[in-house]
Each structure stands twice: as C-alpha cells, then as structure tokens.
Amino acid sequence: MATQQPINDPMIDPKTGEYAVIAPGHNFKSVTQKIAGLVLTSNTPLGWFFGLMVAGCVASLVVVAVTWLFLKGVGIWGITMPGAWGFAIINFVWWIGIGHAGTLISAILLLFKQTWRNSINRFAEAMTIFAVVCAGMFPLLHVGRPWLGYWLFPYPNTMNIWPQFRSPLAWDVFAVSTYATISVVFWYIGMIPDFGTLRDRATLPLARYFYGMLSLGWRGSTRHWIRYETASLLLAGLSTPLVLSVHTVISFDFAVAALAGWHTTIFPPYFVAGAVYSGFAMVLTLAIPIRKFYHMEDLVTLRHLDNMAKVMLATGSIVAYGYGMEVFMSWYSASHWEFFMMWNRMFGPMWWGYWMLILTNIAIPLTTLWSRKLRVNVGYLFVLSFIVNIGMWFERFVIVVTSLYREYLPSSWGTYVATKWDYMLFIGTWGLFTCLFLLFVRFLPIIPMSEIRMMLPQTKITRRGPEAETVIEETT
Amino acid sequence: MPVREGIYGLLAEFNTPGELVVATEEARRAGYRRMECYTPYPVEEAAEALEFHKNRVPMVCLLGGLMGVTTSFLMETWISVWAYPLNIAGRPLFSWPAFIIPAYEWTILFAGLSAGFGMLALNGLPQLYHPLFNAPNFRNGATTDKFFLCLESVDPKFSPTETRSFLEQFHAVSVVEVEL
C-alpha cells in the first residue's frame, strides 16, 4: 500500500517523490555557518556537559575493571575450560562489527557515487574509530599479559622468536591494526579542508591556532583539490576490500578451528553482513539524537534514515539467510556433532540466547522494515537500532558460548557464567565510546562541509564571461 | 634563489564557480601560466582550465602497495622458513596460502598510507605559512563560499597594472595585491 504523503511537504522532491537529501534553500555560506557554528560556538549546550559527565562516570568502570584485571589476572572473568572465549571475544567482535558501517558509508558508498552519504559519513567514520578503540582493548586484555602485547608484531628481538603466520590470531593482528590505521588516516584526511574552514572562521586565537595546525595550511588550491580527491578515491578503493577482509579474518578465528558450530564456510560473508547490519543500527542510534539536538534535520534528512533502514533490511536478510543455512547444514551435513550443536543451541540450557537472537535480529526488524511508513518513523528506528544491536550481541554470544561449552567429549562439558568484572568492562566501553563521541561532536566538524557544498545547486557551472555577454548584446 | 620582493600576485575574487572558470580560461589564453585557483570545494572545471593533468598520487599509491605486498610476503617467508621454522600440524614451512592474508593487509596498509601522505607531500603540505593568507579577503572566503584566481608575479607576462585591468574585466568582486 502506498503511503500518503502531504503534497506540499517541502522536503519531498516533486519529480521523484523521494525525500530530499538536503533541505532546499541552503547555500555555501549557510551550510558552512551551520556546521562550523556547532564547533566554534562559545556556548556549549548544558546537555553536552551532562552527557559527558554521565558517560565519563560509566567509562571510569573500564579503569576499575582493568586495574583489578591487571592485579588479579583473567581469572576474575567468567572464562574457564572449555569456554575459554567469553565476553572478551564476544565484545571484540561486536564492537568491531559496529565499526564496519562507518567504513562502508565512507568508502563503498563513495565508490558507488551515493552522494546522500556525504551528510553522515564523517560521524560514521568517527564511530568506526571509536568502536575499534573499544574493540581492540578486548583481545589485548584477553591475552592475559597485555604489557607483552607487542610480542604479537614481527620485530627483531633478543629472544629470537617470531609470530606464527599460519594462525588466524596472527592474521587478526594484521587485519585489525591495518583497519585502525587506515580508518584514522582516511578520517583525518577527510577533515583537512574542514579544519581550514574552521581556522578561517574561528575568532578565538586558541581555536585559530588549534585548527590551523590541524589544517596543515590547507588553502583550497585547485591542484591540491585534484590530488586530494584522487587520494580520497584511492583510500575509498582500498578501504572497501579492507573492510570486507577484516571481518572475514575475524570469522577465520572461528571458521579455521575444528569445532562444530564454528567450522563452516559461510562465516566470512555472514560475518561481514552482520557487521554492516549492526553498524548501520549504531549509525541510526547516533544520527537520530544528533540531528534532533543540533537541529540538523535539513542536512540529515528522512531520506538518510530511509536509506539506512533499507541497507539494514538488505544486510539483515543476508544474516537471516546465514542463520537458515547454519540450520540446514547441520542437518544436511549428516554430522552427528553438527546436528547436536544446533539442537543444543535451540533447545539446550542456553536456548534463550538463540531465540533472543532470532527475535531481535530477524523477527522484529525484517518484518517491519518493509514498511516505508516505519522506515521514516524516527522514534521507531531509534528503538529498532537498539534492538538490532542487542540481537547482534546475542549472535556472537550464541556463536562463542554455545559452541564451546558443549564440546566433543561430554566429560569436558561445562558452562559459561559471566562475572561482574565482565559486565563492568563491557558497560564501561559503552561509556568510553559515548565519551569519545561527545568530544568529537563538540570539537570536530561532524558533517563534511566541503562535501555538502558539492551537493548544492550553486555548484553548477554557468559560463558568463565578457564574451558571453557580448553575444547576448548582439542578439538583442 | 634570488631574493623575492614586491608582491606575490594579484588575487581576483568571484562569487560563482562559473565566473572563476571563465576568467581562468581567458587568463590561460592570454598567455599567463603561473596561476592558481582557490575554491571552497573541488571544482574540476577549474583544473581543466588550468590544464593541470600531472597527478602522480595514483603512482605513489601503486608503488606503496607493491612495496607492502613484497615486504610482508618476503618477511613471512623468511620468518617461517629460515628464521623460526615451526612444525604446525605438519604443514609445509612455506605455506604460502596462509601468508597471503597478512600480505594482503599490508598491501592495503602501505598503499593507503602512501596515498594519504603522498598526497600531502605532493601538495607541499603541511605549509602553515603562505603569502595568500596576507590577502585581506582570502581567509574570509576561500574556505567558505568565494572563488579566487591568483595570477602570480613570477609569471613573465605579469605586470601590476596590465594584469589588474585584465582581471577586472571578468566582474570580479575585488582584485587585490597579495604581499609576499
């Protein structure tokens, strides 16, 4: 059923019936003033301080949990044999998956010339980096002696030992460190022209100095712009295979192991799709409050929310196919172990995890996102984004825990119970993520100004020089 | 290098990208070569008008990528075969399929860093001081909503008076001298 839209809604393009990407009436100056104003304003909203305070308190849980961990060791966590991969790995995969939507938006959608992404790519990239910060912490702490974490890298040392390159865990080090580095470089390079704008518009000497240093002396020279655009495209072209490879390598951590429930070839595509699914949910979680509190409804429009919901529908369907295939293969493989693993997931002691996952990842989103009315319902999308991220957390919980605690020999069966230190560290990372994001929103341009300018109608080149005018005079 | 004195060039300010492109094309036709456009977002037509085609960023990126793949693959082979040979489940020491994955990641790492830092190096950035920032109207517009064309005084055809009258025929908002 076609939904009825008010015909005189200025946000709807009369030609296509779609919501506009940018509200009409903007020009170069107005978008610049609006976005730069958020950063350069002298009165910070009180809500920001309040948010930072709350998030800071939550983030301090990380400090407490990590300090106690350093004093006592990983024994304070719920990990034990056979469930040696508990919250640490679940949370690592969950956070890094969230980060993937940022790269998808900034890289893949740039290559596909999806210009609507311009409004949301900066904060989606910021989300990526902060999610990788949270994610990277977990495997490092999980190794038990994080102060020796640099042993993971190949460097000449007096012990004469080197990494073992046939192990997926060594691949992980390369994949995640490359991902973090390239994401930061891409993000920073994207901000250089905007730092130039902030430097030129700042009135406080300190701000002018700060943004002036960050802008590296950017002056908008055409030759610079052309090289800059090439570098951005190349970085996008490189980030695209990178983002696909990172979650593929993470899925290898599981798929290369000979454990029922892990040893499957569908893991790489299904992990990547799940990562993008949860990442877009997180972009919605962040975009919806930001556009509301900073009155960005004219730059992050309903079109963006609608499009993101569509991407979630598509990737969610791939994830659903992955779940379906897991069930099918556990029967079709005729392997006793596979069959038992799936039966145990559905009806074993932790049945609630599996059904929670089906409910939050499949049943709720994939039935409702077909409706355009719901896709442009801001409140619904906000709630849904939380539901999907809960679902994606449960996906990793089900994969990690229910595969491990019922392994081949019934004599080694066990269970997994997370301790308060597990919860404290996990909840603390939410606070850390929120803190970093609030600082980003206050001090860095959250929407790329130069890219928004490129989408305005004023960019159209109309040749009106001395010659053209003489022609007009002659004809009249 | 001789001591540079006098002015850096003449800076014309325009309100629209179209006026800038026309002025640039005309300046090029009139024989000016040492010039540059400054815009708040990339204007490809301006690069066309400047006849700027020597973009070496892709080459730098390619070289970086090749360096990454060679470095990492050779390093993995040397480590696993000679430096620290380990028998892992009976696999051959030179198990190249496993080596592809770190090599793939380092290809992207080196290529990406080369593209990013190579672009900055080719652009001569960071360069915190530039004479253009002396122009009174430059910082107010070049990164916001104005379009600039600068004809530089190092051009043999440059003359403070003639170049000024040349630029003024294009409906520039202003034509100002840029101090060195």
How distant, in Å, are the alpha carbons of A41, A194, A446 from that of A44?
A: 7, 20, 15
Instruction: Give A-chain residues touching B145 at CB under 8 angstroms.
Output: 27-29, 32
Rg of chain B over all Cα atoms, to the nearest angstrom: 25
Tell me, what CATH number does A437's domain have?
1.20.1630.10
> What percent of chain A has a predicted confidence (pLDDT) above 70?
94
Q: Which of residues 418-437 of A touch B (CB under 8 A)?
A: none
Give the model confidence (pLDDT) of A358-371 as tens digits. Answer: 999 999 999 999 99
Separation in Å, CA of A186 to nearest CA in chain B: 8
- Cis amide leading into A82 (omega within 30): yes
Are B16 and A231 a contacting pair at CB < 8 A? Answer: no
pLDDT at position A475: 38
Are B144 and A197 a contacting pair at CB < 8 A? Answer: yes
Last residue of a domain, one of B122, B145, B165: B122
Residue A333's nearest CA partner among A396, A268, A264, A253 is A264
Instruction: Give A-chain residues touching B86 at CB under 8 angstroms.
Output: 164
B138 has pLDDT over 80: yes
Q: Is the distance from CB of A138 to CB of A88 less than 8 angstroms? A: yes
Local structure of residue B11 (DSSP, 8 states): E
A471 has pLDDT over 60: no
Are A200 and B144 a contacting pair at CB < 8 A? Answer: yes
Give the model confidence (pLDDT) of A210-248 as tens digits. Answer: 999 999 989 889 999 999 999 998 998 999 899 999 999
Mean pLDDT rounded to a whole number for chain A? 87
Interface contact B90, partner A, CB < 8 A: no
Instruction: Give B-chain residues touching A239 at CB under 8 angstroms.
Output: 108, 112
The DSSP element (H or E) to which B12 belongs, if any, is: strand B7-14
Interface contact A229, partner B, CB < 8 A: yes
Highest mean pLDDT among A26-40, A295-309, B93-107, B131-145: B93-107
Interface contact B13, partner A, CB < 8 A: no
Q: Which of residues 27-56 of A touch B (CB under 8 A)?
A: 27-29, 32
Beta strands in A10-125 (DSSP E): none
How distant, in Å, are the alpha carbons of A323, A348, A367, A380, A469 from that of A360?
A: 13, 19, 11, 14, 64
As beta bridge partners, residue B38 has A221, B148
> What percent of chain A has a predicted confidence (pLDDT) above 90?
49
Q: How many domains does chain A have?
A: 1
What's the rounded Cα separation, in Å, for the pair A322 and A196?
Answer: 46
pLDDT at position A3: 52
Nearest to A465 among B118, B139, B170 (CB): B170
pLDDT at position B1: 45
Asked if residue B90 and residue B33 are part of one domain, the reply reads: no
Residue A20's nearest CA partner among A334, A266, A340, A303 is A303
**A366 exposed, middle or buried (CB, 10 Å; 0-12, 13-18, 19+)?**
middle
Last residue of a domain, one of B73, B88, B122: B122
Asked if residue B48 and residue B80 are part of one domain, the reply reads: no
Interface contact B102, partner A, CB < 8 A: yes
In a domain, A5, yes or no: no
In a domain, B2, yes or no: no
Q: How many CB pairs under 8 A join A and B?
A: 224
- Return the higher-pLDDT residue of B97 and A298: B97
Give the model confidence (pLDDT) of A63-90 as tens digits. Answer: 999 999 999 989 999 888 888 888 999 9
As beta bridge partners, residue A131 has none
Separation in Å, CA of A213 to nearest CA in chain B: 7
Nearest to A182 among B79, B88, B109 (CB): B109
A183 has pLDDT over 80: yes
Asked if residue B114 and residue B70 are part of one domain, the reply reads: yes
Asked if residue B39 and residue B69 are part of one domain, the reply reads: no
In a domain, B1, yes or no: no
Interface contact A279, partner B, CB < 8 A: no
Are B119 and A178 a contacting pair at CB < 8 A? Answer: no
Asked if residue B109 and residue B69 are part of one domain, the reply reads: yes
* Interface residue of B119, B133, B138 to substitute, partner A, most A CBs within 10 Å: B119
In a domain, A13, yes or no: no
Give the model confidence (pLDDT) of A249-278 as tens digits. Answer: 999 999 998 888 898 889 999 899 999 899
Interface contact B5, partner A, CB < 8 A: no
β-strands B7-14, B147-152: how paired? antiparallel
Domain that holds residue B61: 57-122
In a domain, A6, yes or no: no
Give the sign of the dihedral formed by CA A79, CA A82, CA A85, CA A87: negative
In a domain, B172, yes or no: yes
Sheet of B7-14, strands arranged across:
B35-38, B147-152, B7-14, B174-179
Q: How many domains does chain B have?
A: 2
Tell me, what CATH number does B146's domain have?
3.30.70
Asked if residue B49 and residue B32 are part of one domain, the reply reads: yes
Give the model confidence (pLDDT) of A118-166 as tens digits. Answer: 888 888 889 999 999 999 999 999 988 888 888 889 999 898 889 999 9
In a domain, A23, yes or no: no
Asked if residue B24 and residue B35 are part of one domain, the reply reads: yes
A334 has pLDDT over 70: yes
In a domain, A381, yes or no: yes
In a domain, A4, yes or no: no
In a domain, B92, yes or no: yes
Sequence length of chain A is: 476
Lowest mean pLDDT across A15-29, A193-207, A261-275, A443-457: A15-29
- Averaged pLDDT for residues A7-31: 72
In a domain, A19, yes or no: no
Instruction: Give B-chain residues touching A245 at CB under 8 angstroms.
Output: 101, 104-105, 108
Lowest mean pLDDT across A101-105, A467-471, B159-163: A467-471
- Return the higher-pLDDT residue of A33 and A216: A216
Q: Is the distance from CB of A156 to CB of B85 less than 8 angstroms? A: no
In a domain, B75, yes or no: yes
Asked if residue B150 and residue B109 are part of one domain, the reply reads: no
- Return the higher-pLDDT residue of A3 and B93: B93
Interface contact A15, partner B, CB < 8 A: no
Domain that holds residue A375: 28-475
Asked if residue B111 and residue B141 are part of one domain, the reply reads: no
Separation in Å, CA of B4 to nearest CA in chain A: 21
Are A219 and B142 a contacting pair at CB < 8 A? Answer: yes
Interface contact B173, partner A, CB < 8 A: no
In a domain, A18, yes or no: no
Last residue of a domain, one of B96, B122, B148: B122
Separation in Å, CA of B140 to nearest CA in chain A: 6
Highest mean pLDDT among A5-9, A48-52, A411-415, B173-177: A48-52
pLDDT at position A14: 66
Asked if residue B61 and residue B117 are part of one domain, the reply reads: yes
What's the rounded Cα separation, in Å, for the pair A293 and A289?
Answer: 6
Nearest CA in chain A to B130: A217
Asked if residue B38 and residue B17 are part of one domain, the reply reads: yes
Residue A208's nearest CA partner among A39, A447, A45 is A39
As beta bridge partners, residue A19 has A12
